[in-house]
Amino acid sequence: MGKGLETTLAVLNGLVGNYLSRTGNGLATEMSLYRADLPLPAERATLAAAYPHATSRLVVFVHGLMNTESIWRMPDGTDYGSLLERDLGWTPVYVRYNTGVAIAENGARLSALLEQVLEAYPVAVEELLLIGFSMGGLVIRAACHAAETHKHIWRSRVRRILYVGTPHLGAPGERLGKLTSEVLRAIPNQYTRLIADIANLRSDGIQDLAHAALRDEDRAIARSPWDLRDARHPVPLLPDIQHHLIAGSVFIDPRLTFLFGDTVVPVASATYKGHALELLPPERVHVLPGLSHLALAHSPAVYERIKATLEQPT
């Protein structure tokens, strides 16, 4: 499959992926491991062949909305995973998934997949590291809570999770989108209401970003579209895991950093500011100036921060 088609399918799944999945459409992306742009079944023989030098430290990368695992790739062909393998001996695996599906559902699917990976991996896993970009960080959090419910073994191998540009307190752009739809529907005009109806067809995954809904019960909370405040849902960062937050800002000036963030995710949302920041030591929260949202997934500066984090003892 060509790069252009893969990108198009990723965007399509992000927009209406829940509908594609619900109707059994062949264009729906199934969650799977990927390697060299090809699906990699979580089977022992397949993983042993793909990773002949597998180590006991396994790092799993989860991309964001409308992305594939190629979002991690730098211009020279390396990515955070290949660099961690070279520099620190971690074995990288990459997850591709349908980003239009509800975050809670993707979390449950990821938890089940990680359980399969742990069972099929060719060597015993000493530590399982999770790194999520944007929505991927929320899917990881949802997977952790799903693992608690289903008593999945992989959860016991996780000591650290790194979140890169993750909207922990929700995405104001989606909250504004909901408000705009309500305003259009309130106008007594058939055309504006039609536009509002079309806008409301956006996927469950996109709508979940508004308030960072991690569980089905979070999605069911009734919220006014006029409420543009950050999310305050009752799902905390799990206390037995070291959580490391990396945020970006397109501005260098610190006075503008917190105001604009990376243009998609505000710094306050990416750093949990005002919600549970007091639970995280300052050395686990980093804001990198001069980086837009997408650039966070393939930036040398972000890699150096990831590497420095993993060089510290847990």
Determine the pLDDT at residue 183. 43
Determine the pLDDT at residue 27. 93
Q: Are residues 43 and 58 in the same domain?
A: yes
Structure tokens at 203: 């996927």
Determine the pLDDT at residue 278. 47
Produce one character per residue of 231-250: b if its CB has 16 or more CB atoms within 10 Å, e if not. bebebebeeebbbbbbbbbb
Q: Are residues 203 and 155 in the same domain?
A: no
Collect the ranges in the chain with pLDDT lower than 50.
Answer: 174-177, 179-185, 191-199, 226, 228, 276-278
Q: Which of 161, 141, 143, 105 is nearest to 235 (CA)?
A: 141
Q: Are residues 113 and 200 in the same domain?
A: no
Q: Is residue 229 part of a domain?
A: no
Determine the pLDDT at residue 181. 45
Q: Are residues 34 and 85 in the same domain?
A: yes
Q: Is residue 249 part of a domain?
A: yes
Domain of 251, CATH number, reads 3.40.50.1820
The whole-angstrom separation of Cα 108 and Cα 140 is 9
Domains: count for the chain? 2
Q: Are residues 160 and 193 in the same domain?
A: no
pLDDT digits (tens, 9 = 90+) for 116-170: 999 999 999 999 999 999 999 999 999 999 999 999 999 999 999 999 999 988 8
Q: Are residues 43 and 123 in the same domain?
A: yes
Q: Are residues 244 and 144 in the same domain?
A: yes
Determine the pLDDT at residue 258. 56
> What pTM, to 2 d.p., does this model score?
0.89
Q: Are residues 145 and 30 in the same domain?
A: yes
Q: Is residue 228 part of a domain?
A: no
Q: Are residues 38 and 98 in the same domain?
A: yes
Domain that holds residue 137: 3-169+237-310
Q: Is residue 265 part of a domain?
A: yes
Q: Is residue 243 part of a domain?
A: yes
Q: Is residue 62 part of a domain?
A: yes
Q: Is residue 245 part of a domain?
A: yes
Q: Is residue 83 part of a domain?
A: yes
Q: Are residues 55 and 191 in the same domain?
A: no
